[in-house]
Amino acid sequence: MLIFNLLFITQAAMAVPSPILFFFFFFLFLVKLALSDNIQFIFQGFKGNSIENLSLNGASVITSTGAIRLTNYSKNLIGRAFYSSPLHMFKTHSQNASSFSTTFVFVIVPLDPQIGGGHGLAFTLAPTQQLPGARFENYLGLLGPENNGNFSNHVFAVEFDTATGLWVNDIDGNHVGIDINSMNSTVSKAASYYANQTHPIEPLKLESGMPIQAWIEYDGTQKIVNVTISPLFVPKPSRPLLSAPVDLSHILKETMFAGFSSATGKLAGSHYILGWSFRMNGVAPPLNPSQLPSLPRPKISEKIRKEGIGIGAVCSATTLVLLVIVVFISLYYLQRLKYKDVLEEWELQCSHRFPYRDLFKATKGFKDSEILGSGGFGCVYKGVLPATQEEVAVKKISHNSRQGIREFIMEIASLGRMRHKHLVHLHGWCKHKDELLLVYDFMPNGSLGDILFNHKKSGILSWEQRFSILKGVASALLYLHEEWEQVVVHRDVKANNVLLDADMSPRLGDFGLARLYDHGKEACTTHIVGTLGYMAPELSRTGKATTHCDVFSYGALLLEVACGRPPIDLNATSNQPLLSEWVSECWAAGCIVEAADPKLENNYVVEEMELVMKLGLICCQKMPEARPTMRQVTCYLDGSDLLPSDICPEYLNVYGNKLFADSRPSSMGFGGGFSGISCGTMGGGVISSGSLEGGRY
């Protein structure tokens, strides 16, 4: 207001003669100097028109309560607040910096009270409000590593530091220091105050979240800086915390900006200024604590306050929530009991056992949409093991009695150790109540039988593919019969148990009927099981499953793959011959390749086709001793050995051949009779007339 009055007087004086006008302007100049030498201001909070005299930059904001928040809880921030007008730091014609006095109230709230925050704030006199090159962390937004300690900085500061510096020399993480052109303090002490002259010094935590008042006084005559701090409602101590001889005459410029700077780093906290007063060449006006804005609350307190608003609703819903929890816990344990495995002692001795719960999860609860195939022995489901995310096939077999289940599982667990590239790997097993679950590799292309007789699904197999598949199955049977630690009789070799992987490579599967015995020993009598057309005739007499039985089944598979017909077609007329009879008759007539699958359209190697058909008939001979071993079969197929040239179909006692019809029983009534056994004469054995759709595992 005084300045406006002076301007008004100036306008009125324009009509006055020039000598008088000169003395008048000289008088105004002296008044201006007097005003600049004794400038003072006071902020009892920062609201209304008073904030027009403030300049904020960086992260600084004015809060709704009227406090300056220099930084928030974010990391690597800088926030500053300056008095917008520059201060004249020297009296007229004086070489000494003027005295000044300031007092302010600040609050530092760490992000986590248990860990602490950073990095503090500082009162400063600086030549500019922007401070180029300044960095965060312990540089407090005042200086940086490039200019720290430079005489050209012209920066005076009093720091209130809450973190030990990595690049500056700090005495501890809770101190007050006087800084001259450098963040390495000229003098510093741990934050504390003197209650009175005789009382011991009291420690004071800067980041306590409580308001702290600070007084900074510079005596331009004595050239001494005094710094004093205390809690807000404690009177100013008569003894300063820091008192150091400092001559600011060589540090300060003619005009300087007064204000505050704060920074965070990896440690973070909120830094507030609640009130501030300043005076040149005199004592700063005192602050009235009752007029300061409300104290900022720590973050955790704000959270508790918000939670407290809804405490009534929470209490009223507690009973319902507890009831829901009890219900869910009950259902959870009932579900666990439902799928809990009750193991007998002998089961613990068998390896490769899967928990039922894992298989239930893998197959989506044995959902119908996951079924790969089904038949007389059970269903096969596609599954994904929860632990490894590996795709598997899970075969579910239902047993109505416990007879032999222990021996069965022991053998299945033993088979899990087999490794051959043309065998479906048996990962393991599980017994749950009256169900047996077998876990195999998942074969994406299904079974050989499905492709042979449902070629619309995946196309017609070429002869090269068929011949390669037959050699692969022969290699797998050789491994089972001779190369593994025990003799393994598969007992169910057929097209539907030959599975094809993604590369159409064969894998012999379904070891649910397999039997094991030691090398050099005889096979034990067992139940008669198998599939019509693939079962060796001697099984009805001896009940013993030997490697000769597998050779017979493989011979039927050779004829089936070459001719594209099943060994026995249950849907055919009574006059249609069995597959082995038909191929034998074609051989006898000198035109064996006429039995080849017409879907091949003569696209095959004639020598290989003849070899497969003749070898199939040789393997299907009635007498087991007359059949070749699987080692001999593999030698014939890979060309390392040749079939005897003197073999004629008339001399082969082929099972089902009309040339030997007088030696066959004819109880089944198939065309020409079937030298076999009826389904009702197996003495409790199990015969399958088909196989699982889509392949058996």
Q: Give residue-wise pLDDT tens across range 583-635.
A: 999 998 889 999 999 999 999 999 999 999 999 999 999 999 999 999 999 99
At residue 252, the pLDDT reads 96
Cα torsion through 455, 458, 462, 464, rounded to 10: -130
pLDDT in tens, 626-651: 999 999 999 999 999 998 877 777 76
Q: What is the pLDDT of residue 673?
A: 28
- End-to-end CA distance of the chain: give it in Å, rounded: 100
Task: Output the pLDDT for position 455.
Answer: 65
pLDDT at residue 573 in the model: 61
CB atoms within 10 A of CB 50: 14
Q: Which residues of the chain have pLDDT under 70?
A: 1-37, 197, 296-310, 312, 334-351, 375-377, 398-411, 413-414, 455-458, 525, 572-575, 651, 655-697
- SS3 of 616, please? helix
The CA-atom distances, in angstroms, between 328 and each of 325, 338, 382, 592 are 5, 15, 30, 70
Neighbours of 161 (CB within 10 A): 28
Residue 638 falls in the annotated catalytic set: no
Contacts of 47 (CB under 8 A, 6+ apart): 62, 66, 293
Question: What stretch of H or E contains 440?
Answer: strand 435-441
Residue of 441, 492, 510, 550 with catalytic role: 492
CA–CA distance, 236 with 214 (Å, rounded to integer) = 9
pTM flag (> 0.85): no
State residue 660's pLDDT score.
Answer: 37
Binding residues for ATP: 396
